[in-house]
């Protein structure tokens, strides 16, 4: 069993990564149904929370059926991080996570996200501020370092644990790599094997199949792994990995009905949470992933991404059912 504060997780838990414009309540609900053990909100700007920015506040929505769930915040100002942690505390997630890994320029330029990797002293001060502002367990997600010549994850892990961080997730790339090139989990393995480290260490980066998940589980000896891009439009990845861990056998891919049902549910829940118009528009980016590799699907996808009527969209899903009633997944 893996513990984060009072949160008890199964042996080698699978975590859903906090992904901007992806890891919202409708998507988290699907991933929970398909085996995710711990999930995180989209990352939330501490300054946005304090300003009462509507989009930031909306990201605080969590629901009991998705627990355990963490709210992730980012920022470069100690006071703002402490105040935002207090705001997060009021909605009572299971934990607060700090993003020290986002490589996007607009975040880094504000001295936040992966930008903090250049200044470990600042990272420690920001983390202390969050810990001061909440009664919840505080965890951190970060990267190996700023670039190949400044990998500092060993120091980061020790210093964060020393001030009370209760779990660490490491994306096995540097900021300079962004999302390109190969992740290098040997650095995370070294952190895990450090006799000083007692908090759970989770790995993230390039887990896109049950086979790779098992290989990395056995090879690097971490406490669990976080899955991000591989789950977009494919929440079944969690069930598939767990089944492979237990049996060594691959589950068959989700059939067409399962894909249609997941996309319909995602759309319905998005409209319920975001409002009809926004739910329909923001769902459009997901259809390609739900129906990736389906032969001759372009015409149906075009209808899904251009229609604004909930009733018509449901009819389009029924058309897809009829058109692919005998379709065999490979």
Residue numbering of the annotated binding site: 72, 141, 171, 228-229
The contacts of residue 168 (CB under 8 Å, 6+ apart) are 139, 140, 141, 142, 157, 160, 161, 191, 199, 200, 201, 202
Whether 109 sits among the annotated catalytic residues: the reply is no
Let me know if 3 is exposed, middle or buried by CB neighbors in 10 A (0-12, 13-18, 19+): middle
> How does DSSP assign 221-256, residue by residue?
--SEEEE-GGGTT-TTHHHHHHHHHHHS-PPPPP-H
Among 30, 102, 213, 222, the one annotated catalytic? 102
- Give the span between the Cα atoms of 84 and 54, in whole angstroms: 14
Task: State the binding site for FMN.
Answer: 72, 141, 171, 228-229
Do 262 and 254 touch, CB atoms closer than 8 A? Answer: yes
- Give the span between the Cα atoms of 86 and 66, in whole angstroms: 22
142 three-class SS: strand
Do 238 and 227 touch, CB atoms closer than 8 A? Answer: yes
In Å, how far from its chain's centre is CA 27?
10
34-73 CB burial, b ≥16 within 10 A, e <16: bbbbbbbbbbbbbbbbbeeeeebeebbebeeebebbbbbb
| Of 238, 290, 259, the residue nearest 36 (C-alpha) | 238
Do 224 and 216 touch, CB atoms closer than 8 A? Answer: no
Catalytic residue annotation: 102
């Amino acid at each position: 069993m893996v513990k984060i504060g009072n949160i008890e997780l199964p042996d080698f838990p699978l975590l859903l990564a906090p992904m901007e414009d992806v890891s919202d309540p409708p998507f988290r609900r699907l991933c929970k149904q398909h085996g995710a053990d711990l999930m995180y909100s989209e990352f939330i700007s501490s300054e946005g929370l304090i300003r009462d920015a509507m989009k930031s506040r909306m990201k605080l929505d969590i629901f009991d059926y998705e627990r355990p769930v963490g709210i992730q915040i980012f920022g470069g100002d100690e006071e703002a991080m402490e105040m935002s942690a207090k705001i997060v505390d009021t909605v009572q997630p299971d934990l607060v996570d700090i993003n020290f890994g986002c490589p996007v320029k607009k975040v880094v330029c504000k001295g936040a996200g992966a930008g903090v990797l250049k200044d470990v002293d600042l990272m420690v001060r920001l983390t202390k501020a969050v810990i001061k502002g909440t009664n919840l367990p505080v965890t951190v997600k970060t990267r190996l370092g700023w670039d190949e010549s400044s990998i500092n994850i060993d120091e980061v892990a020790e210093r964060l644990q020393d001030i009370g961080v209760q779990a660490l997730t490491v994306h096995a790339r540097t900021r300079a790599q962004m999302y390109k090139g190969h992740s290098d989990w040997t650095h995370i393995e070294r952190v895990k094997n450090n006799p000083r480290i007692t908090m759970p260490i989770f790995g993230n980066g390039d887990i896109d199949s049950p086979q790779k998940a098992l290989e990395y589980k056995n090879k690097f000896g971490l406490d669990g792994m976080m899955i991000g891009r591989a789950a977009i439009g494919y929440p079944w990845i969690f069930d598939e990995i767990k089944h492979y861990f237990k049996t060594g056998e691959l589950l068959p891919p989700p059939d067409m009905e399962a894909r249609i049902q997941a996309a319909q549910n995602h759309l319905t829940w998005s409209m319920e949470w975001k409002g009809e118009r926004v739910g329909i528009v923001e769902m459009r980016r997901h259809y390609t992933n739900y129906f990736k590799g389906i032969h001759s699907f372009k015409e149906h996808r075009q209808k899904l991404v251009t229609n604004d009527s909930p009733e018509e969209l449901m009819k389009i899903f029924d058309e897809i059912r009829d058109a692919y009633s005998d379709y065999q997944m490979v």
